[in-house]
Amino acid sequence: MKEGKVYLVGAGPGDPGLISVKGLESLKKADVVIYDRLLDERLLNLASPTAEMIYVGKTPGEHTKPQVEINQLLVEKAKEGKTVVRLKGGDPFVLGRGGEEAEVLAQNSIPFEVVPGITSAIAVPAYAGIPVTHRGVASSFAVITGHEDPGKDESSINWEKLATGVDTLVFLMGAKNLSEIVSRLIEFGRPSDTPVAVIKEGTRPEQKTVVGSLGDIVAKVKDHHLMPPAIIVVGEVVRLRDELCWFDNRPLFGKRILVTRSRHQVSTLSQLLAERGAEPIELPAIDIQPVADSRELDEAIANLKRYHWIVFTSINGVAAFWQRLKNLKLDSRAMCGLQIGAIGPATAEALAVRGVTSDYVPETYTTEGILAGLGYRDIAGQRFLLPRADKADNELVQGIHKLGAEAHEVAVYHTVPANESIAEAKRMLIAGEIDVITFTSSSTVTNLVAAFQDEPLPVNQAKIACIGPKTAVAATRAGLEVDILAGEQTIPGLVGALEEYFGEEM
């Protein structure tokens, strides 16, 4: 049996992009992932689908597993010969009990590595526009637990020296004890007008910051209903937030946007939304599946020389077509001599990464755009292969026929409702937790609406955003009022339309 090993990995403070390269590499090779509360699920999705996931998170007053059991679990899994990742928020050794876990591993002769993470003590203030040190303002900072072991007889924090001996104080896990922390600092000499920031959900789209002074911060936090967990920053550097605030100044900050795409397409749209401050809710309305009977597609591939053109109308079509080529032990060389068309830049890029350059991409990324461009080409008598969804409309086929050419439409994939995700979407919509519903195809509209059967889609205050006119028509027919329509029918175009819409609201 192979020797097991444990990686104590710091996942960073919340934003999944802040995990280190080495931490990500460790996660991808894990047989077992033992993870904490408050970790972004997108990180867990980066682990192997075969990895065993064990949640050991802790909430105030409720621990899934006591620390001693977590320690023992690390030892047991490693002794089974498995690669274990202990995925911890922030940094394992900064108020994270990683040192205790490492001690137990060492005592049991279990090989381990520590992969440091970005601690919330510096990252969360930075995302709030507060540098913990700044020339001429603060040359020292301290990180202090705001929640000491309740079993201790007395505090191990030297409040007398801490209150005035360090420029910037960062308290982790201290929101519940804010009043006590403020009282101690003022008691031991910190002026009551010292600036304070309390930051909840730091580095996440839900981040919220309340700023005040030692004299009034308790009342302000209460007025804003700011609940734990949160980080407390005390010091003159807090005044810099007015000038350096960046994270919550982004155009879509705080907007919860429902992403209704197929599962494997979600990431691009979500990434662009997150970069602009939104919280993408990845609840796809459809799954993409290969057709059950591939005989017609196989016959078309075997006779590619009969065609003059192949036109791809989606990246799904490209992916499904290439998967079939691969299954038949073929590659892009099978398309030698054919003209290649792509409905838009995303589809063209999907071809490019497979080594194929598109000969034709229309100026307008729609069926109408394809036909308009083909109208300027002499295609009479030519044969077109159209690898598409099984329920695609016949507008493109009819248009090619009108231009004097022959079109052979072949199904390469079909869409089915993603029922589990749709159920979660329904819950959030009913609760009014969504600001925008995005639709990137007619089928996402159809499947999401169909999931509610005879009930109307509970839009509440959510805005409806569509990638293009055909999708907007499908939404309108479903009884939805379209608020946002992309000018350029691409994912970046949709995101740009969202920015423009909410920019006008401000």
Q: Among 416, 442, 477, which residue terminates a domain? A: 416
pLDDT at 221 exceeding the cut of 60: yes
Report how far apart, in Å, the C-alpha atoms of 229 and of each of 28, 144, 174, 225, 232 are.
Answer: 29, 15, 8, 12, 10
| 246 pLDDT tier (thresholds 50, 70, 90) | very high
Do 410 and 449 belong together in one domain? no
- DSSP letter (8 states) at residue 292: S
Do 140 and 234 fall into the same domain? yes
| CATH number where 473 lies | 3.40.50.10090
Q: Could you say which of 82, 173, 335, 435 is catalytic? A: 173
Which of the two residues, 291 and 137, has the higher pLDDT score?
137
What pLDDT shows up at residue 457?
78
pLDDT of res. 303: 95
Residue 183: predicted pLDDT? 96
Same-domain status, 272 and 304: no
Same domain, 62 and 146: no
Which has more pLDDT, 27 or 146? Answer: 27
What integer pLDDT is reported at residue 49 of this predicted model? 83
Pair (185, 297) in one structural domain: no
Residues 6+ apart with CB under 8 A from 193: 213, 214, 215
User: How do residues 362-387 score in pLDDT, each as one tens digit?
Assistant: 998 889 999 999 999 999 999 999 99
Q: Is 82 helix (H, G, I), strand (E, B) or coil?
A: coil
Q: Is residue 142 domain-shared with residue 71, that is, in the same domain?
A: no
pLDDT confidence of residue 459: 85
Contact indicator for 143, 170 with CB cutoff of 8 Å: yes
Distance CA(142)–CA(61), nearest Å, equals 27
| Mean per-residue pLDDT, 242-269 | 84
Does a cis peptide bond (omega within 30 degrees of 0) precede residue 229?
A: yes
Q: Tell me the per-residue pLDDT of 385-414, one tens digit each, with 9 for 90 and over.
A: 999 988 778 899 999 999 999 999 999 998
- pLDDT band, residue 281 (cuts 50/70/90): confident
Spatial neighbors of 369 by CB under 8 A, at least 6 apart, are 343, 362, 363
Q: Which residues contact 114 (CB under 8 A, 6 or more apart)?
A: 7, 8, 92, 93, 98, 102
Q: How confident is the model at residue 151 (pLDDT cuts 50, 70, 90)?
A: low
Higher per-residue confidence, 36 vs 59: 36
Contacts of 85 (CB under 8 A, 6+ apart): 6, 7, 9, 26, 27, 30, 32, 33, 34, 47
pLDDT for res 331: 92
* Residue 262 confidence (pLDDT): 61
pTM: 0.72
Active-site option among 5, 15, 31, 36: 36
Whether 262 and 215 map to the same domain: the answer is no
What gap in Å lies between CA 44 and CA 27, rounded to an integer?
8
Number of domain units in the chain: 4
Residue 272, CB-side half-sphere exposure with 13 Å CA sphere: 15
Query: Tens digit of pLDDT for each residue in 56-93?
Result: 987 665 667 889 999 999 999 999 999 999 999 999 99
Residue 365 to residue 494: CA distance in whole angstroms: 13
The per-residue pLDDT of the chain, averaged, comes to 91
Show which of 400, 416, 432 is a domain's final residue: 416
Q: Are 143 and 243 found together in one domain? A: yes
> Is 173 known to be catalytic?
yes
Q: Give first-to-last CA distance, the chain, whole Å.
A: 62
| Lowest-pLDDT choice from 137-151, 253-267, 400-414 | 253-267
Q: Which is nearest to 30 in space by CA: 18, 19, 13, 45?
A: 45
Asked if residue 423 has pLDDT above 80, the reply is no
Crossing angle for the helix pair 419-430 and 442-451, to the nearest 10 degrees: 70
Average pLDDT over residues 249-274: 82
Catalytic residue check, 58: yes
pLDDT band at 37 (very low <50, low <70, confident <90, very high): confident
pLDDT band per the 50, 70, 90 thresholds, residue 506: low
Angle at 327 between CA 324 and CA 333, to 5 degrees: 70
- Helix 315-327 to helix 345-352 angle, to the nearest 10 degrees? 20
Using CA atoms, how far apart are residues 278 and 430, in angstroms rounded to an integer?
20
* Residue 310 and residue 244 in one domain: no
Confidence of residue 425 (pLDDT cuts 50, 70, 90): confident
Name which of 139, 126, 138, 162 is nearest 235 in CA terms. 138
CATH classification of the domain holding 97: 3.40.1010.10
For 324-372, write each residue's pLDDT tens digit: 999 999 999 999 999 999 999 989 999 999 999 999 999 988 899 999 9
> What is the pLDDT confidence band of residue 263, given thresholds at 50, 70 and 90?
low
The span from the CA of 12 to the CA of 139, in Å, is 24
Q: List for the chain the helix, strand, coil content (%; round to 5).
A: 40, 20, 40
Best CA proximity match to 340, nearest among 328, 353, 352, 324: 352
Q: In whole angstroms, what is the distance from residue 288 CA to residue 473 CA? A: 22
Residue type, 167: D
User: Are 279 and 425 contained in the same domain?
Assistant: yes
Judgement on whether residues 274 and 423 belong to the same structural domain of the protein: yes
Structural domain of residue 435, as residue ranges?
A: 256-285+418-505
Q: What is the mean pLDDT of residues 11-15?
A: 93
Q: Taking CA 462 as the corner, what is the angle to CA 421 and CA 221, rounded to the nearest 5 degrees?
A: 95
Q: What is the pLDDT of residue 286?
A: 67
Residue where a domain stops, chosen among 398, 416, 434? 416
In a 13 Å sphere around the CA of 428, the CA atoms on its Cβ side amount to: 19
Q: Are residues 444 and 468 in the same domain?
A: yes
Alpha carbons 117 and 90: distance in angstroms, whole number? 5
